[in-house]
Amino acid sequence: MERSASASLAVSVAALALLADPTRAMGGDAMDLERLEPRWVEVQVVTTSPGDPVPRFSEPVAAWYEAEEAWRTVTIPGGAVERIFFAERSPVEQSFSDFVWVFDAATGHVTSASFSGLVDEPIRIGPVRSSARVRILVALSTRVTGGYDAPRELAGRTVIAYCPDVERAGCTAVTSSTYDPESGWVRANGAVYAVWHSFRTLAYTSLGQARFRELDRPSELDALHAHARPGSSPSDRSGDPSAC
């Protein structure tokens, strides 16, 4: 028990240190945007809400890297998004698209990072408890400004709204940062669009805060592929992230 508590404390301290100083790496080489060959890389994203005392990172996931003349595309398979990033949100099986990040190779800007999927959200209106199948769409970029409002209750759930106007009273601004080649850290701003019938909400998300790392050892890649699809192996693939 003491050993487990010490390990948890060490992870928490490392997470706090990285958020306080994004130029600090958490081990391993940062993803190199100058490398042109297609390959697998590792990604971790922040999964806690703003204001949480102890930031939490997701488990590492494998993502497929491809280079074009001016752009670098990193694709996290939809199955990994569903199982790792939304494990606590009742995701609808096989409903998630790939999480595609597009980097400007010259500036390190994330021009877009997006995915969509379905989750079964519990709802409560007075004494009535039910659930609703909600479509979510996530859109992020380092070129946009934004922030979040104070938490509020909506149908029995706590919602932290996204606010694109950081000058508005009550909006806490979140500063975007381009990709740092030393640490692999990037902070993209954006929102989760949640749609259920005619209802729409715009919520803040921390999934744009991520770290990208090179994967050069086969053992690392095999371990990450176990998350992408049970029983899969890097040797099974021909370069298509959906094959993961």
User: Given the DSSP bridges, would you call strands 39-45 and 99-104 parallel, antiparallel or unpaired?
Assistant: unpaired
Evaluate if residue 74 carries a pLDDT over 90. yes
CA 148 vs. chain centroid, Å, equals 17
Which of 34-38, 217-221, 234-238 is modeled with the greatest confidence?
Answer: 34-38
Average per-residue pLDDT for the chain: 78
The model carries a pTM of 0.76
What lies within 8 Å, CB to CB, of 16 at 6+ separation is 54, 55
226 pLDDT higher than 60: no
Q: Label residue 139 by pLDDT band (50, 70, 90).
A: very high
Tell me, letter by letter, the H, E, C secondary structure of the chain.
CHHHHHHHHHHHHHHHHHHHCCCCCCCCCECCCCCCCCEEEEEEEECCCCCCCCCCECCCEEEEEEECCCEEEEEECHHHHHHHHCCCCCECCCCCCCEEEEEECCCCCEEEEEEEEEEEEEEEECCEEEEEEEEEEEEEECCCCEEECCCEEECCEEECEEECCCCCCCCEEECCECCCCCCCEEECEEEEEEEECCEEEEEECCCCEEEEEECCCHHHHHHHHHHHCCCCCHHHCCCCHHHC
Residue 26 pLDDT greater than 60, yes or no: no
